[in-house]
Amino acid sequence: MNENPLRGNSRSLHFSDVSWKKLLLITNAGHFVTDFYNGFLPPLLPLIVDNMQLSLTSAGVLLTVLSISNSLLQPIAGLLADRLSRYYFVLIGPVISGVFMGMLGLVNNFGQMVTVLILSGIGTALFHPQAAALIGSIKNSRQGFSMSIFNTTGVLGVTAGSLIIVPLISQFGFYATAYTIVLTVIFAYYSWSHLAKFRLAPASKRGKRQLRQLIKVNRGLVLNLHLLVVVRAILILAFSGFVPLFQTSQGETVFFGAVSLAVFQFFSVVGMLLGGHAFDLFGAKKLLLTSFIFVPPLALLFMNLPGIYGLPFLAAMGFFLSSSTPVNIILGQKISPTNASFMSSIMMGFGWGIAGLLMTVIGALAEKVGIYQALTAVSFLSFAGILLSLTIPIKK
Residue 395 has pLDDT above 70, yes or no: no
Query: How far is the C-alpha of 75 from the C-alpha of 285, rounded, in Å?
Result: 26
Q: What is residue 231's predicted lDDT score, i.e. its pLDDT?
A: 92
359: burial class by Cβ within 10 Å (0-12, 13-18, 19+)? buried
Tally Cβ neighbours within 10 Å of residue 369: 12
Cα R_g (the chain), whole angstroms? 20
Q: Tell me the C-alpha to C-alpha distance, in Å, between residue 350 and each of 128, 172, 226, 250.
A: 11, 37, 8, 34
**CA atoms of 77 and 88, how far apart (whole Å):** 11
Closest by CA position to 191, among listed 100, 118, 103, 127: 127
**42: DSSP letter:** H
Please give the share of the chain, as a percent, with pLDDT higher than 90: 32
φ/ψ of residue 13, rounded to 5: -105, 135
Other beta carbons within 10 angstroms of residue 113's beta carbon come to 22
Q: Report d(CA 43, CA 58) in Å as an integer.
A: 15
d(CA 22, CA 87): 13
Q: Work out the number of other CB atoms within 10 angstroms of the CB of residue 79.
A: 17
**pLDDT, position 11:** 45
Distance between CA 65 and CA 48 in Å, rounded? 15
- Residue 278's pLDDT is 73
For residues 11 and 337, the answer to whether their CB atoms sit within 8 Å is yes
Q: Residue 126's pLDDT band (boundaries 50, 70, 90)?
A: confident
d(CA 294, CA 389) in angstroms, rounded, equals 14
pLDDT value of residue 80 = 74
pLDDT at 1: 37
At 357, give phi and psi (nearest 5°).
-60, -30
Query: Can you spell out the DSSP letters for 174-186?
Result: GGGGGGGHHHHHH
pLDDT in tens, 19-31: 667 777 888 899 9
Q: What backbone torsions phi and psi does residue 141 show, to the nearest 5 degrees?
A: -80, -5
Better pLDDT: 141 or 332 = 332
**Interacting residues of 308 by C-beta distance below 8 A, sequence separation 6+:** none
Q: What is the pTM of this model?
A: 0.74
pLDDT tops 60 at residue 64: yes
Higher per-residue pLDDT: 194 or 170: 170
First to last CA, the chain: 20
30, 131 contact by CB (below 8 A): yes
- Which one is predicted more confidently, 191 or 143? 191
What is the CA 118 to chain-centroid distance, rounded?
16
pLDDT of residue 6: 36
Residue 9: pLDDT band by 50, 70, 90 thresholds? very low
Q: Is the CA virtual torsion 226, 227, 232, 233 positive or negative?
A: positive
Residues in the chain, overall count = 396
Neighbouring CB atoms inside 10 A of 193's CB total: 9
Please name which of 318, 297, 304, 314 lies closest in space to residue 380, comparing C-alpha atoms: 297
Confidence of residue 263 (pLDDT cuts 50, 70, 90): very high
* Listed range (28-37, 152-161, 217-226) with the worst mean pLDDT: 217-226
pLDDT confidence of residue 117: 94
Which range, of 105-119, 283-297, 346-360, averages the lowest pLDDT?
A: 346-360
282 or 321, greater pLDDT: 321
Dist. CA 313–CA 258, nearest whole Å: 16
pLDDT number for residue 68: 84
pLDDT digits over 354-366, tens only?
A: 888 888 899 999 9
- 77, pLDDT greater than 50: yes
Give ∠ CA 268-128-169 in degrees, rounded to 5. Answer: 65
Share of the chain above pLDDT 70, in %: 74
What one-character DSSP code corresponds to residue 17? S
Q: What is the chain's mean pLDDT, rounded?
A: 80
What kind and span of H or E run contains 40?
Answer: none
- pLDDT by residue (tens digit) across 92-103? 889 999 999 999
Tell me the mean pLDDT in the region 284-312.
Answer: 90
CATH code, residues 18-391 = 1.20.1250.20
Of 356 and 195, more confident: 356
Average pLDDT estimate for 112-131: 88
pLDDT, greater one: 207 or 345: 345
Show the DSSP H helices in 196-324 as ranges.
205-217, 219-249, 254-282, 284-293, 295-304, 311-323
- Residue 362 burial (CB count, 10 A): 26
Whether pLDDT at 90 is above 50: yes
Out of 40-44, 297-301, 318-322, give the one with best mean pLDDT.
Answer: 297-301
Q: What is the pLDDT of residue 192?
A: 79
Nearest CA to 344 among 264, 244, 226?
226
- Inform me whether the pLDDT recorded for 299 exceeds 90: yes
Cβ within 8 Å of residue 184, ≥6 positions away: 33, 37, 94, 95, 97, 98, 99, 102
Residue 376 reports pLDDT greater than 70: yes
